[in-house]
Structure 1
Amino acid sequence: MRLEVLSPLHIGNGNRLTPVDIYPSEDRVYVLDVEKLFNDLQKLGVDIEEILTLLKSPPGEHYVWKGYIEEYSLNPSDYALYSLPVFGEPGKTSMQINEFIKSSGRPYIPGSSIKGAIRTAVFYKALKDCGDSGTAMNLVANFSPNLAREIGYSESLIDYYVDYLNRETAEKRKFDDRRADDLLEAIVFGMEGSKVHYEPKRDPMRALIIRDSPAIGRKHLAVYRVEAVGNPSPIPVWVEALQPGTEIEVELSFDEELLRVNSSYFNGLLWECLKDRGKPWEVFEDFVWEAVKEFYNSIVEHELRSLSKFGSRRESVRSFYGSIKGKEKILRLGWGSGWISTTIGLLLVERGGKWEHVRRKLGLGRNPSGRGFSKDFPKTRRLAEGKPMGWVVLK
């Protein structure tokens, strides 16, 4: 399949370029070969101790090399490991740039990022279509009769889950919200043990195989200034991101034989969903793509209903979402995708006040000042060049 980037896409590697690493011009950023520049400045007679002092204690608000390059009329491209165009105003005195993930210096898209986006859609659809309390109760009864009974008192698995979170956050002084969806994940994808924990070997999503993309030409990469719309005191963020229009081959396959041979081993809600449609190994691929279309178009519709949150960028966001609405196989990847796009949040917000109570206990939507919570969650949206980040389409 081919993957096309529809809006700026940033998948980070955890590294950050600082003013020590870069030289900014009006429309480009040069990532410097610092060792080469250092050696040439020595040859030009610059005091080595002066340079070392700057490197050991760089002035936090200034580009370390800018003064030297301009004073000695050096061409920054002669010292660049690479350079990228900049969209949005670069920092006047300083900026830090979150790097894109690379292999041997060239960007690529991890297969895990694509699979994670698809998995979220499947999670959503399995709960939405098959998450009645009766089905979930019957599945869980083999492992934990007490848990099955508790689920049976609720209208749906999602309703039980919200009640479960409410209980857990009340009873445990330090509830680990990073593990908040562990129980739900186990019931949907595959479970083991009397405490019902997730077991990857019982997960039908094993049959979806996605390889890392080949290396992508650096010409498709740019630096974007990212706006946090809705934040009254936004801190500028710059990222390396793939530009819209970038296309890359992606190796994606479905292993029907794995599902058929291991059919007696799968035991989650997703497997029940597939069985309702026929032979699971025959219907799995269609179910996955239906889930992708349904989930991500629901995200688009949700964002179109929330245009007021985009302020002055409302019309550019409306235009973008209008251009992708109804498309099949659209996904949202990477940093800046937001809570709604990376969780089953669409199902949770339908629970109204009950969910609002729980999300505050989980600390979601806490005001930056640390006082109180935003009534409107999620409040902020990240935009690059007026576009919501991370949208791609598989073709």
Structure 2
Amino acid sequence: MVVSPESALKKPDFYQSKKILMTSPILHIGSSVSILNPFEYVQTDRKVYFPNQEALAKGLLAQGGRFFNDYIQAIEERQDITKLLKQAFGSEWWKAKDTQGCPIFPKEAVSQKLTSERITDLRPMIRNGMGQLFIPGSSIKGAIRTAVAYYLLKHADRFQLPASKRVSEIEEKLREKLGKINQHQQKFLDDELFMDSLFSEFHLTYQERNFPGKGPNTDFFRAIKITDSAPLLEGKIKTKKGQEIPVNIPVVAEVVVSSRFSDYLAKYKASIYTEMVRNVQTEFTITLDTEMLSWFTHKQGMKLPFNNLDELLQICQEFTQEQWDYEHDYWQEIKNNPQASGKNLDFNYIREFYEPEKCPYSLRLGWGSGMNGTTIGLCLDDELREDIRDTCGLKAPGFEAPKSRRTVMNTKGEIKFVPGWVKFKNLQD
């Protein structure tokens, strides 16, 4: 028996999925270790090496017990191991291998050094179990979740937010609580004030059964799955014109933390040496379970802000545009300072970066995205945002919040890059 195409059963289309190409000028996602010990990396004039600790221990042991003992001492005393490596493996120590032929300094654990300064207190980027740089799906999902929260609060009438969870009420409760809560309570205050209600106060109906409760099980973001990115492997791609462009370049850069004086003259605060990736190009997959999304009904009648992935990505774009506009205006006010504690704070490249009126990026992600990228702060009154910063962070009375910015220097010592801006392109279009 032959079944005609018209009468054949169709598989229910419960899922929407998009394979996304993510690109970024420069990016850093922090790891579980905020700062490396001096023995966990080795620097030369041009590169920074991150040894495979097990291979290094085996290699040193094979060279003689005293080298291994010196290594243990360096760990105990948190010392640099450059001299030890030269003694054990010679002048080209970075080519050394352990007794099984494994490189002590794997290719994926070598970064270009973008600064002539001696690196201290190095902040590493997250790696997967294979030691490869990558972007966790949880980082992408967290940034999208913030965008959705901002969007709901901004369009409260359209989505029928409960009166107690609208911006005016949130601001009033924040003013009441600031200064009266401890540091632990500060960390979870957003959950109490609005995040739990916006995302988790839902009835869940599945197969005609109602499941009450509150928490992860009734969080409508359960319907969204985001994979980790493909590893950020250094390589080259060809443009349509046949030009080769390097991508996923691991670098260690000097990140300048700056703010301003009362007359808007730029003020140097600190330098942070950070492992980052230049010219990011990777892929991840985002999936929406549309059937699961239909199970959620808000207890106070709030409407869901999206029904498909296109709407979700548009929400991200709107939130990103708000951040872009704010940053553009901030940098227009800042005056260059060529004599700022020995640094030339010339932000002309940064102002040029923010010149386009329409934001060319899809989201701001990871380290450096700041208060405006990781909270719904741009929804709040400016003075209240300052009070939150002064109470929960570093005090800066009389200055906008956030006050400081992070920008990245190139090899010439020019302030050239802003971290965290990423573009999404649907590879299935």
Q: For the superposition of Structure 1 and Structure 2, which TM-score range results when normalised by the shorter chain?
A: 0.7 to 0.9
In 1: Cα distance, 2:418 partner to 2:216 partner: 32
1:207 aligns with 2:226: no
Q: Residue 144 of structure 1 corresponds to which residue in structure 2?
A: none
Where in structure 2 are the equivalents of 1:238-257 lying within 5 Å?
238-244=273-279, 246-257=280-291
> Which amino acid is 1:382 matched to?
R
**What is the aligned partner in structure 1 of residue 76 from structure 2?**
56
Letter of the aligned partner of 1:249 in structure 2? E
Task: Work out whether residues 363 and 421 of structure 2, in 8 Å CA contact, stay in contact via their aligned partners in 1.
Answer: yes
- The match for 1:169 among 178, 184, 192 is 178
Q: Residue in 1 aligned with 2:199?
A: 189
Q: Contact 1:13/1:99 (CA < 8 Å) preserved in 2?
A: yes
Q: Deviation string for 1:232-282 (max 9, x for gaps)? A: 5644322222212x222211122211122x14x33467x4254xxxxx64x
Preserved CA contact (<8 Å) 2:255 2:407: yes
Letter in 2 for 1:42: G
The letter for the 2-side match of 1:11 is: I
Q: Does 1:24 align with 2:43?
A: yes
**Matching residue within 227, 244, 251 for 2:256:** 227
One-letter identity of the residue aligned with 1:366: K
- Residues 163 and 359 of structure 1: CA distance in aligned 2, closer, same or farther (over 3 Å): farther
Matched, 1:38 2:60: yes
In structure 2, the partner of 1:290 is: 314
In structure 1, runs of 5+ residues without a counterpart are 138-150, 275-279, 368-372
Give the TM-score normalised by the residue count of structure 2.
0.71
In structure 2, do the counterparts of structure 1 residues 157 and 104 end up closer, same or farther at CA, with 3 Å as the change threshold? same
1:135 shift after superposition:
4.4
Name which of 62, 79, 82 aligns with 1:65.
82
1:376 correspondence with 2:400: yes
| Equivalent in the alignment of 1:258 | 292
Distance 2:286 2:216 in 1: 19
Percent identity (aligned): 23
Q: Mark the CA change 1:346 to 1:305 in structure 2 (over 3 Å): closer, same or farther.
A: same
Residue-by-residue CA offset, 1:144-194 (whole Å, 9 max, x unaligned): xxxxxxx4xxxx81111111122223554667110121121123223279x
SS state at 1:5 partner? strand
**What does residue 422 of structure 2 align with?**
392
Q: AA paired with 2:77?
A: S
Partner of 1:142: none
User: Do the aligned partners of 1:310 and 1:381 also contact (CA within 8 Å) in 2?
Assistant: no
CA–CA separation in structure 2 for the residues paired with 1:323 and 1:88: 29
Distance in 1, matches of 2:125 and 2:362, equals 24
| Residues 13, 102 of structure 1: 8 Å contact kept | no
Q: Residue 284 of structure 2 aligns to which amino acid in structure 1? A: V
Q: Please say if 1:303 is aligned against 2:327.
A: yes
State the partner residue of 1:12. Answer: 30
Write the letter of the residue equivalent to 1:330.
S
Query: Residue 371 of structure 2: which of 339, 344, 366 is its match?
Result: 339
The Cα shift of 1:42 comes to 3.0
CA distance in 1, matches of 2:375, 2:60: 47
Amino acid in structure 2 at the alignment position of 1:320 = F
Is 1:78 aligned to residue 95 of structure 2?
yes
Write the distance in 1 (CA, Å) between the matches of 2:281 and 2:69.
47
Checking the alignment, whether the CA contact within 8 Å between 1:131 and 1:157 is kept in structure 2 is no
Change (3 A) 1:215 1:119: same
The within-5 A match list for 1:90-105 is 90-91=117-118, 94-105=120-131
Amino acid of the structure 1 residue aligned with 2:91 = L
Secondary structure (helix, strand or coil) at the match of 1:242 reads: strand
Say if 1:129 and 1:24 are closer, same or farther in 2 by CA, change over 3 A: same
* Deviation of 1:36 (Å): 4.7
2:312 maps to amino acid: V
Task: State the 4+ residue runs in structure 1 displaced beyond 6 angstroms.
Answer: none
Whichever structure has more helix as a proportion of its residues is 1
Change (3 A) 1:49 1:288: closer
Matches of 1:259 and 1:338, distance apart in 2: 30
How has the CA–CA distance of structure 1 residues 173 and 258 changed in structure 2, closer, same or farther, with 3 Å as cutoff? closer
How many residue pairs are counted as aligned between the two chains? Answer: 349
In 2: Cα distance, 1:135 partner to 1:54 partner: 58
Q: Which has the higher mean CA deviation after the structures are superposed, 123-132 or 317-326?
A: 317-326
Q: Which residue of 1 aligns with 2:238?
A: none
Gap change, CA 1:28 and 1:135, over 3 Å in 2: closer
Aligned to 1:3, the other structure's residue is in SS state strand
Gap change, CA 1:259 and 1:100, over 3 Å in 2: closer
* In 1: Cα distance, 2:27 partner to 2:290 partner: 31
1:119-130 matches, within 5 Å, as 119-130=145-156
Change (3 A) 1:352 1:19: closer
Cross-structure match for 1:277: none
Q: 1:354 to 1:186 in 2, by over 3 A?
A: same
Task: Give unmatched runs, 5+ long, in structure 2.
Answer: 1-18, 97-104, 204-212, 236-247, 261-266, 337-344, 410-415
Q: CA deviation at 1:224?
A: 2.0
SS, match of residue 29 in structure 1: strand
Asked whether the 8 Å contact 2:24–2:281 carries over to 1, the reply is no
Query: Match of 2:144?
Result: 118
* Cα drift, residue 96 of structure 1: 2.5
Aligned 8 A contact 1:111 1:213 in 2 = yes
Report the Cα offset of residue 67 of structure 1: 6.3
